[in-house]
Amino acid sequence: MTEKAKAWTRVDQFEVTIDREKCIFCLNCFEACPQEVYDIDYENKKIDIVLPKECLICLHCEEACPTGAIFIKGAIRKQFKPTPVKDMWGWEGIKPPE
């Protein structure tokens, strides 16, 4: 069975999960987290969730993890695409006739 660390965030609809089998102890999540939600257990070579209520759900830890060991359940993930910019004549990327 997969060992996982789970903790609820300040809003109970979000849950931070670390899959211990996928974790390679690279410490990227620890360094990426602006709120110090994680703590390092050097003796057992694992990351612990110590302050889940401080999590901002910014997804920095999840994005920094090279193996996908961290997952924030309930977080909305979107891929943003830049919207084409139109000039005052409604042209996209083409100059208006002179």
pLDDT band at 1 (very low <50, low <70, confident <90, very high): very low
Residue 26 lies in a domain: yes
The answer to whether residue 85 sits within a structural domain is no
Is 34 among the domain residues?
A: yes
CA dihedral of residues 39, 63, 24, 70 (deg, nearest 10): 70
Percent with pLDDT over 70 in the chain: 67
As for how many domains the chain has, the answer is 1
Residue 8 clears pLDDT 90, i.e. is over it: no
39-60 burial code (b ≥16 CB/10 A, e <16): eeeeeeeebebeebeebebeeb
Q: How far apart are the C-alpha atoms of 55 and 85, rounded to whole Å?
A: 35
Within a domain: 90? no
Q: Could you tell me the residue range of the domain that residue 19 belongs to? A: 4-73
Number of residues that this document lists for the chain: 98
CATH assignment of the domain containing 60: 3.30.70.20
* Residue at 80 is within a domain: no
| Segment 24-50, tens digit of pLDDT | 999 999 999 999 999 999 999 999 999
